[in-house]
Amino acid sequence: MTTPSDTTWVHYLPAATTVIAAAFSFTLFRKYRARPTPHIGWWAAGVATYGTGTLLETVITLAGNTVVLTKLWYVAGAVLGAYPLAQGSLYLLYSRRFANRVTAVSMPFVVLTATLVLLSPIVAEALEPHRPSGAVLAWGWVRLLTPFINIYAAFLLVGGAIVSAWRFSKTKHAGYRAAGNALIAFGALLPAIGGTAARAGFVEALYVAEFFGLVLIWAGERTCAVRPAARPAMPVQEDLIAGR
């Protein structure tokens, strides 16, 4: 259990992540306004949700933890953290008809999981003053639902970026896109690793992973944003976050 005197610079790192997420989501929302396509909208919402989770971590560090803050943090991170980003990949890489059907199946499960988190009784002694943890949920079985969401998200988000990176590595004069997608894939993977560490009680690892993960994703977006003379016909992952 942490006390105010136990906090280190790592506990304040989510504040920097929140600033980056706000700037990143602002650029994506601007692109969505210019071109209102589903994948850009989902990505903008996803980065905003990402920033909401890190904002809650910042508030918990600065103002102290509560049951409400911890539950909202769990919903924003463990339940919704990667889902909107994965939806962006879904709408980019597949037909809208198929994406709509998958969304109709997956979204009720996500909403149900979030609702169960909010309704769960708590384990009061598990509430730490300056560190959020899913251990406060007395319905421990609810935490078994989030891996299904995260595996779904990893398949679409990380998998889509890896496939795009591989395809562009085989395309002449597209090495920068392969590199950009590799950065996106690695950046998207880091929060998943950090989330696993947080489930084991090392929430500080999550804070570090969230920061560097978002930095890498944005760096990948910037790398992929270079406009080549000719564009390939197939939809690819960098179109998702470059807003094309």
pLDDT one-digit tens code per residue, 202-242: 999 999 999 999 999 999 988 887 765 555 545 555 454 54
Domain tally for the chain?
1
197, 237 contact by CB (below 8 A): no
| 244, pLDDT greater than 50 | no
**109-148 per-position pLDDT tens digit:** 999 999 999 999 999 999 999 999 999 999 999 999 999 9
> What is residue 117's three-state secondary structure?
helix
Task: State the Cα–Cα distance between residues 47 and 119, nearest whole angstrom.
Answer: 26
Helices of type H across the chain: 9-34, 38-63, 67-74, 83-93, 96-119, 146-169, 175-199, 203-224, 237-242
Is 4 buried (19+), middle (13-18) or exposed (0-12) by CB count in 10 A? Answer: exposed
Q: Tell me what the mean pLDDT of segment 153-159 comes to.
A: 92
Rounded mean pLDDT, 178-196:
92
Band (pLDDT 50/70/90 cuts) for residue 194 is very high
Give every CB contact of residue 172 below 8 A, 6+ residues apart in sequence.
Answer: none
- What CATH number corresponds to the domain at position 105? 1.20.1070
Domain that holds residue 104: 4-242
